[in-house]
Amino acid sequence: MTYGQIITLLFILLILYYAGLVTMDIMADKRMKASDEAKNEEAEIDISGLAGGFEPVEINRDNSRPTTVPQSMGTVRYKEPVMTNGYPVDSLISKTKNAIESGRYDDLDNLVYKCEAA
C-alpha cells in the first residue's frame, strides 16, 4: 500500500466513524423522548373525601431535659499553658507587657523567633 492509499483508507474510516456516531445519537434521542413520555404519564388521585374528615391535633412535647453536672467537673482550676517550647510562661507574659508599654517590639520579635525555632 502506498502512502496515498493509507491516507484515503483512514479518511474513509473516519467518515464512517462519524456517520455511526450521528446515527447512534439520533437513535438515543428517540429513546430518550420515548422514556420521557412514559415518565410524564401521571395518574390523578382524588383525595377530597379524605381531606374532609381531617381534624388537626395538637401535639405537646416536653423538650426540657434536666441539666446534670458531672461530679468530677465541680470546680474549674487554672491550668498553665504547656506549649511554650520550653520558655517560661511568666517570662513570655512579662516580655509581652514590656513590649506593649514601651512600643518597641524588637524584644518580642526575638522571643517569637526563639519559640518558633525551638
15-29 pLDDT per residue, tens: 999 999 999 999 999
Q: Does residue 115 contact residue 84 with C-beta atoms inside 8 Å?
A: yes
Per the structure, the count of domains in the chain is 2
In a domain, 10, yes or no: yes
> Residue 33 falls within a domain, yes or no?
yes
What pLDDT is stored for residue 97 in this prediction?
82
Report, as ranges of residue numbers, the positions in the chain whose pLDDT lies below 70: 40, 64-76, 78-86, 107, 116-118
User: Per the domain annotation, does 74 fall within a domain?
Assistant: no
6 domain-assigned:
yes
Kindly report each contact of residues 111-118 with a partner whose C-beta sits within 8 Å and lies 24 or more positions away, as own/partner. 111/87, 114/85, 114/87, 115/84, 115/85, 115/87, 116/85, 118/85, 118/86, 118/87
Domain of 101?
A: 86-118
In a domain, 56, yes or no: no
pTM score over 0.75: no
Is residue 80 in a domain?
no
